[in-house]
Amino acid sequence: MEKSRLETKVGLFVLIGLVLLAGLMIQFSKGTSLWRGTYDLKLQTRNVGGLKVKSSVLLAGVPVGTVKQIQLNPGGTNVTILLQIYRDFPIYHDARFVIEQSGFLGDQFVSVIPTTNAPPVLKDGDMVKCQEPFNLQEVARSAAGFIQRIDETAKKLDASVTDLRAQVLNAETLANFGGSITNMKQFTEQALATVRDINGIVNTNGAQFSVAVSNAVAFSAGLIQLETTAAGLLTTNGENLSQATKNIAETSATFKQLAGDMQAGKGLAGVILQNPGLATNVQVIAANLAVTSSNLNRLGLWGILWSHKAPVTNTAAQLKTPRQ
């Protein structure tokens, strides 16, 4: 009897120890607590890196669950990760899911990064996108390729510089370049000498330049005043100038008409011009009038009236009057 009691006590002790050991193993192996409710979320990503089952899920750095399952989808293009989240921690639909790593060589975990916590809250079985982890080896391969391309580019640049030095920086080119520098130096010296000469001319004839500028300014002022005066005269005597221009036009028309009448034989002047005999008589009369006026000036009126002898200075009287 006592032996059976001892065996029962030992068995009960072993059972209790196994239960406690299992609980401790579950607690310290990142397993799910047996006394807390959970809900599942599905993540889709292209690569899980080194993420494993039972890895932690951290919300803002706080453990809120574990990775329950990792499954490769058909076709091998992406992976589905099943998360087991404690019901005490709601996760909103605008949260970001990222696979990160603890330190440089530490374990990987799923990080949940909250943003604005806009509703609704994710429910059991919802599918969300997850950002794939940083792949150091892929970056190293890309960097190696990039470095290789840089090395090839550097070699090409080195070859180009070598060709450039061979084609451009030869003895002939350097000699031409030296000649160009010498010519440029001579040109700059001549330009400086010219500038100095111009400065000397300006300094020597500064007073004359000032007088010339003053005269130009005075002349321009006079022109402006003349323009103002002319504008005033035109404004004041505009009607008179218009009337004078009209009178000149009428006078020229009258002279034109008079010339036409004379050519046609109209009027006294026209008759005289058209009749040669009458023109001769007019000339004789004009000559006699000239002699008479000369005698009046020389003898006076009484000398002419009481003279016994007619003056012999009238040569025009000897002219014979043409017959009509």
- Identify the domain boundary among 117, 145, 164: 164
Question: What pLDDT score was predicted for residue 35?
Answer: 62
Within-domain flag for 306: yes
- The DSSP bridge pattern shows strands 38-45 and 126-131 to be parallel
Task: Supply the range of the domain harboring residue 147.
Answer: 136-164
Query: How much is the average pLDDT of 56-83?
Result: 90
> Is the predicted pLDDT of residue 57 greater than 80, yes or no?
yes
Q: Is residue 224 part of a domain?
A: no
Amino acid at 82: L
**Per-residue pLDDT at 307:** 57
Residue 136 — pLDDT band, cuts 50, 70, 90?
low
Asked if residue 107 and residue 58 are part of one domain, the reply reads: yes
Same domain, 67 and 149: no
pLDDT at site 275:
67
Interval 165-176 mean pLDDT: 74
Tell me: do 35 and 108 sit in the same domain: yes
Q: What is the pLDDT of residues 90-128, one digit of tens each?
A: 999 899 999 888 866 678 899 999 988 888 999 998 999
* 119 in the same domain as 44: yes
Backbone φ, ψ for residue 90 (5° rounding): -75, 145
* 286 belongs to a structural domain: yes
Identify the H or E element spanning 67.
Answer: strand 62-72
72 and 158: one domain?
Answer: no
Asked if residue 54 is part of any domain, the answer here is yes
In a domain, residue 144? The reply is yes
Does the residue 190 lie in any domain?
no
66 and 108 in a common domain: yes
Q: Are residues 79 and 99 in the same domain?
A: yes
What would the two tokens of residue 192 be?
């400086």
Per the domain annotation, does 196 fall within a domain? no
pLDDT at 67 over 90: yes
Clarify whether residues 35 and 121 are in a common domain.
Answer: yes
Residues 116 and 40 in one domain: yes
pLDDT-derived band at 317 (thresholds 50, 70, 90) equals very low
Radius of gyration, alpha carbons of the chain: 66
Domain contains 200: no
160 shares a domain with 106: no
Tokens of 196: 């100095």
pLDDT tens for 184-208 read 888 888 888 888 888 888 788 777 8
The confidence band for 279, taking pLDDT boundaries of 50, 70 and 90, is low
List, as one string, the DSSP characters of 116-184: S-PSPBP-TTEEEEEEPPP-HHHHHHHHHHHHHHHHHHHHHHHHHHHHHHHHTSSHHHHHHHHHHHHHH
Average pLDDT score over the chain: 79
Least confident of 69-83, 279-293, 307-321: 307-321
Q: Are residues 126 and 149 in the same domain?
A: no
State the total domains in the chain: 3
Q: What is the pTM of this model?
A: 0.38
Span 7-53, pLDDT tens digits: 787 888 888 988 888 777 766 555 445 567 899 999 999 888 888 89
How many angstroms separate the CA atoms of 244 and 226, rounded?
Answer: 23
Taking residue 48's Cβ as centre, other Cβ atoms within 10 Å add up to 22
pLDDT of residue 315: 46
pLDDT of residue 111: 92
pLDDT tier for residue 86 given thresholds of 50, 70 and 90 = very high
Q: What is the pLDDT of residue 319?
A: 43
Q: Distance between CA atoms of 40 and 302, rounded to whole angstroms?
A: 164
Residues 49, 114: one domain?
Answer: yes
